[in-house]
Chain A
């Protein structure tokens, strides 16, 4: 960085201003960083492991890293606590002991709705997100996104300072400019102000927005890349005005899903999953299972789980809904499409009628409003309202139809009627409907401001970018799916120079106070919360009595306009299963998280059914092991996109699915260039699916899957059977299964090593795990939770293609059908979470030449990293292949200062050349044991909870102590459907499985 161009670059005034307002450690940063020079960015870039070649050793990189890390020393120092608290601890605060985790309640916001979480912090460093048992949307569980969000928090690519047209600037200058705009607007010298926000449920924020609007006459628009317009409009259609449906799956004996995926999306899906699971537990004689009828377009988790499943194009779901309505005796006309068939509809209808008041029809988030309206109508007709589905006062604050709202905004912008545009969060330049051409309209606005956690595609087009504080860094509030409000409580001072949207809006209303005052005043002054109530709600993570009140659901007469005729190849748009609408594109943990059904990572693909693939001349019978897939070009109207093809059994024929969210260009080092951008195919008219698409093969592309073989090859891996089969034979065991040393069953008969048992008597707690395959919905929460808890490295697409992903727990997905042979058109889907089984006769141990993996007296198969020389013999000899090897220096990525803070101090960060694997979260076991020793109170069941178990929304994973007769794990282990995987090997794994019991209606014709 030569002297000359430095002068050229730095607006000295800005620089001085910046340094003037910089805090403490800022002074240690180099000028380069302050002025965000190219060099500096490149420094940051190079030194952050590129997703493709994450670990590549190179002297120049090393030097760059050294240099940059010195520059970033200021950041790494990090202001953990509010500055006013940074004083040497003469007497340490009571609640903070070094190395002891402290939990705080806060709220995670997804698609505008809040889910209560408890965040584990070490010395004020937030580290791991757990569900908040008191919060209605969580009940203690989480989903994969919430788990992985922690990496976004420490993402080095986050926006670090206020920029004006790419040059560093300051909050003062930014706010000053905006205030000037307000002045000019008032004087009429400038067009009106417009504010574009995502959907929000935050009462405080909404209040301040209204204040801002009234003060400045600004207009408030709302838009989300993947919105809930259809759901909202559907409700309005059915009941005339806005209400929010809240489902109660505990009460539902029959669930009909109209392309709904309430396991993985929509408000409250975590809670719904848990309630649902409570109706699927099989315990001995007691088999009171609910029954799920699912119609699905793009295969989703509910469909994978359903007892009876039919597939049809997304556009045909409405017909199914109409047919069903007709079948239960309301509405008239409408017959199910051939792909679904009458028998399905009739059977579903019969069972719905037989279970009035205890059944529920759930419309899919991505179905048009008519489907929602019909579903609600049926629920009311069936008397479910107030029982299995409750309609409450709208939870969203000042909700608007996103697409409509954005179109109006673009109109106004185009007409030059917007003088100042403030975009809070979101990324409309990337995800707006293509026909609106948002980017072009943006050019017509005089002053544009964008606030976001990342400087993204939209910030690039705006004059100003304002760094937004992440939810762990700022105060705020949000409401749950049922309206219950909870506080967003910061766990750490903003790492960078960020403010919250709330703080910004308040500041623009000339209220300079911080988030805490704003939120507290709102709740205590305007909502009359007492100080105690306030503190309690901070502690509990929910504000009592804030749930929305039920409203009387009175149906409006449904006059549905005829369904738009769709013809030709249909494209179904869906948010990506792991990175959502694209916000999480730069989150390595989510990028590498296998998509639940296809096990694809790092990419969005063209999903197509085998039949349609053949019709489209796609390479269907490609060699399963070969990562080379067809590269297809999909064209809708004038826009087209290229993506690799994945043959998806169970996908409806005549349609393909594309996931939006990929193809980011300004996501950051991880997200840039992954997959392809599908948003350009979406128009205001076709937000969820479009017809008349064309597809042609244009080449080959590599896809990184973590699983290539989809059938069980007739092996006894996932045991499953219908209720009737279960009643015949509760073990659900295929004939001729060998048992060698199975638990309980003649344990030592075949044991060659009785002497071994004498030499190494197990004593103390005996840890074991049971996984109920009947409950696993394959949502990936456990995998994500394990990544965060155990410092799992992200290896990048190339390494995943090489089979080197490091996940300690994986969810195997198998396709099968009733008679075992896999059916390609509409297969049964089975999930099997698989981590180290901690075999008592572990085959991995005797083959290790240096005793780096040995057994503990508590039955843990222990991996001693610093003893391992890396012969990989243990992995070769592991029949489950659950061991993971550091082929390269994968954890180099965590040397980055901000990512260092992401590491769990209780877990070793593994280096190059050593083997690793699931430890049953031994760090948690040890913590509990230490507590036991200190207090002298013996451990009780549930004192040790593994990360995967804690995250699991369905509680399919049970962990505990075998010596405790009363423990859950013992209880489930004594179920007859309990079985060991690969029993004939006689290695006696401590993890066993519960066979999956399904509840299909045999009457339904296939």
Chain B
């Protein structure tokens, strides 16, 4: 058993909690729809749905007219599509990190937020996954990147290309995260099945729970599988963003061709991910009265992780600049100078502010616990992480080796439309999740409560045993 965390007591706050009370505060969100504040649920949902329509429009136009509706050009062949892809993937990473890595480290406090974070991961990866397909000139044949084949011309994918690695990494990541998520929910489905009063939820959750009955043999295998799955997800999540970073690092372009990319992309991913978790968790815990389960402790600890990863990322920027000037490679030098002083200086400056400087205020405990300010910081970080990818893509490509081919890049309305659209999709799915699935892992919260309150095999006071159990007859 894990060493008892001195802080554990505060992971579930308030007195008079029982297994049932905890369960109901979460479960009834799905079973008792009245608990949903009309405004808090419907307003974001409707806005998100609207943005989703923008996405549909942007995609339709893209397919019928071509990537020319975007701002990409020669020399800047990649733009918003790749930037958003990396951004979304990065956001996804916090989910897996919370549920898998913290599980491995036996961080009990994760139990209150992992389900939520995993859902975020899956939806974020769905948003991310669209872009590599859509950004191709001929999306209808984008499936040629998969080893479904040999497809046209009797050919296979070209496995030396990082884009193929992406396909494998992202699909694996999506699949494993989804499995992890679903397995985690099976016992909760059983709980809701048994709690549900009406037929529909009973039937639906009955199907989903696959007849889970909480037998100890099942729990035994379940925990083995769950733990190892977490063990698998940890290297997976690290590999995914490393591979994404190889899209750039494998090339020969100044500013891309750098060995530091994998680590600092992963750090950046976690950074952005936690920012997003907080951005969503802070309002949700308020609206749904979950403050006693997602406590200030959680918030504060997540803020700390943001601060730490933020520092990694900042270190990454410093290294990049150092390499550029230390390398003695004239093209690298020119690239870095152009980043800082060229036409896109503003994006680099903003990047340093958003990701490097702004989060430094999190050193103060007061601020870590001041939710409005924390929200603002998280938002700034999300913007900063987007800018990071913009800086990487645009400033490298728009001025590479031969001055004759230099140019500029700006997103068009359709670039923005698709980007906002995916935000719509994300929020849309997230809000459905809030309403129809257990947003916090019920059985793990109970387990946590048990660990906090139970005797754990210590002998029971004799008095408690006294009193004869009532007679049970077969006909009763």
Contacts and interface: CB of A to CB of B under 8 A. Distances in A.
Determine whether A and B are in direct contact in the complex, meaning some CB atoms lie less than 8 angstroms apart: yes
A847 B250 contact: yes
A913 B65 contact: no
Interface in B295-333: 330
A872 B77 contact: yes
Nearest to B407: A803
Contact of B406 (A709, A813, A879): A709
A872 B64 contact: no
A626 B343 CA distance: 10
B468 interface: no
B65 A803 contact: no
B10 interface: no
Interface string B38-79: 000000000000000000000000001111100111111110
A814 B406 CA distance: 13
By DSSP majority rule, is chain B's interface helix, strand, loop, or mixed? loop
Contacts of B65: 56-57, 888
B41 to A, nearest CB: 40
Given A707-B404, A872-B137, A881-B400, A866 B64 contact: no
A982 interface: yes
How many chain B residues sit at the interface, stated as a range, is 35 or more
B137 to A, nearest CB: 2
Contact of A625 (B67, B136, B343): B343
Contacts of B398: 625
B427 to A, nearest CB: 29
A846 B65 CA distance: 29
A57 B62 CA distance: 11
Given A709-B406, A850-B158, A870-B138, A887 B73 contact: yes
Interface string A689-720: 00000000000000000011111111101000
Contacts of B67: 870, 887, 913
A886 B403 contact: no
Interface in A106-134: none
Nearest to B396: A876
B232 interface: no
Nearest to A813: B404
A914 B155 CA distance: 17
B400 to A, nearest CB: 7
A888 B68 contact: yes
Contacts of A709: 403-404, 406
Interface centre among B72, B153, B161 (most CB of A within 10 A): B161
A914 B163 CA distance: 17
Contact of A804 (B68, B78, B330, B334): B68
A1 B283 CA distance: 64
B74 A884 contact: yes
A707 B403 CA distance: 8
Contact of A850 (B64, B66, B135, B144): B144
A872 B343 contact: no
A847 B161 contact: yes
Contacts of A713: 334, 403
B403 A913 contact: no
A847 B405 CA distance: 21
A881 B405 contact: yes
A799 B68 CA distance: 9
B157 interface: yes
Interface string A829-854: 00010100000000100111111000
Interface centre among A799, A876, A888 (most CB of B within 10 A): A876
A810 interface: yes
A873 B163 contact: yes
A563 interface: no
B1 interface: no
Interface centre among B164, B404, B405 (most CB of A within 10 A): B404
A81 interface: no
Interface residues of A, number: 62
A708 B407 contact: yes
Contact of A843 (B145, B152, B251, B330): B251
Interface string A799-832: 1001110000010111000000000000000001
Interface in A847-865: 847-851, 864
A867 interface: yes
Contacts, number: 175
A715 B403 contact: yes
B402 A879 contact: yes
B343 A623 contact: yes
Contacts of B155: 850-851, 867
A834 B74 CA distance: 15
Contact of A803 (B75, B253, B401, B403): B75
A886 B72 CA distance: 11
Contacts of A885: 74, 77, 137
A802 B138 contact: no
Given A55-B68, A713-B334, A886 B137 contact: yes
A381 interface: no
A912 B401 CA distance: 28
A405 B404 CA distance: 46
B221 interface: no
A734 B256 CA distance: 27
A563 B141 CA distance: 70
Nearest to A599: B404
B163 A912 contact: no
A347 interface: no
B152 A866 contact: yes
Contact of A876 (B145, B253, B403): B253
B162 interface: yes
Contacts of A880: 401-402, 405
Nearest to A713: B403
Interface in A956-1006: 982, 985, 987
Interface in B227-286: 247, 250-253
A741 to B, nearest CB: 14
Contacts of B158: 846, 848-851
B142 A881 contact: no
Nearest to A625: B408
B455 interface: no
B402 A881 contact: yes
A782 to B, nearest CB: 16
Contact of B407 (A623, A625, A888): A625
B162 A847 contact: yes
Nearest to A803: B73
A164 interface: no
Nearest to A709: B403
Contacts of A849: 144-145, 157-158, 161, 163-164, 167
Interface in A610-651: 623, 625-626
A57 B403 CA distance: 34
B397 interface: yes
A843 B343 CA distance: 27
B152 A847 contact: no
A887 B66 contact: yes
Contacts of B135: 871-872
Contacts of A846: 158, 160-161, 250
Interface in B93-150: 135-138, 141-142, 144-145
A709 B403 CA distance: 6
A760 to B, nearest CB: 13
Give the top 9 A-B pairs by smallest Cβ distance, nearest first. Answer: A870-B137, A913-B137, A872-B77, A888-B68, A887-B68, A812-B404, A881-B405, A803-B73, A849-B163
15 contacts: A708-B406, A709-B403, A713-B403, A804-B73, A849-B163, A850-B157, A869-B137, A869-B141, A870-B138, A871-B137, A875-B74, A887-B67, A887-B68, A888-B66, A888-B68
Interface of B: 64-68, 71-78, 135-138, 141-142, 144-145, 152-153, 155-158, 160-164, 167, 247, 250-253, 330, 334, 343, 397-398, 400-408
Given A715-B401, A876-B397, 20 more contacts: A708-B407, A715-B403, A717-B403, A812-B404, A814-B403, A843-B252, A846-B160, A846-B161, A847-B162, A848-B158, A850-B157, A850-B158, A851-B158, A873-B77, A875-B75, A881-B400, A885-B77, A887-B72, A888-B65, A982-B401
